[in-house]
Structure 1
Amino acid sequence: MSKGATVSVLYPKTASSTFDISYYLSTHMPLVADTWTKYGLKSWSVTQLSVDAPYSVHALMEWESQEAFAEALKDEGTAKVMGDVENFSSEKPVLLQGEVIGRG
């Protein structure tokens, strides 16, 4: 039985990268929730990473299943979600996804 799925979104940090965390939290993540909750997005969290990390921000999204995330990507609103990245980050995000196989 599936315990759900997670999608991690990591924003690379370089010497010249920029990231507007205020916009991300107040505009982008509500857009994500509005677009994808109907497909099984259960929750999300955002972590601002330490100064020495190779990424500036990590977003973790909890999904009902990997199939639910795959269906969400087919939604026409997904283009708006992905197109919004340029409004807060100078870097393209790295997406990692997988099935949850254990919880504590």
Structure 2
Amino acid sequence: MHTHSLEPWQHRHVFLGADHARNERRTWIVITITTAMMVREIVAGVAFGSMALLADSFQMATHAGALTIAAAACLCTRRHAEDERFTFGTGKLDELADYTTRLSSPSSPC
């Protein structure tokens, strides 16, 4: 019986950009700023009875949610980049997050 190794035909499927970690960190910063402004608008909207501030704060909530999905995808992509269970790499996680958040946010940061 012959025993053959697949190693000559295997290669890495890690396609993370050079700035992936920096972009992920910046995305979490933007999420923090967006959420803080959203909370301030809710408080001000309730305090001053402004329906416009409340409406804008709820829209900011959708942006914060979309950015959180994108940042979570960046995190998963980075953490599982070397995981062999992802046969073709983890880049598709970013693409799926970008597709999912397209209605609320212009594009995925990673």
Q: TM-score, normalised by structure 2?
A: 0.30
User: Greater relative contact order: 1 or 2 (C-alpha under 8 angstroms, separation 6 or more)?
Assistant: 1
- In our comparison, the structure showing a higher alpha carbon Rg is 2
Query: When the two structures are superposed, what TM-score results if normalisation uses the length of structure 1?
Result: 0.31
Q: Which has the higher helix share?
A: 2
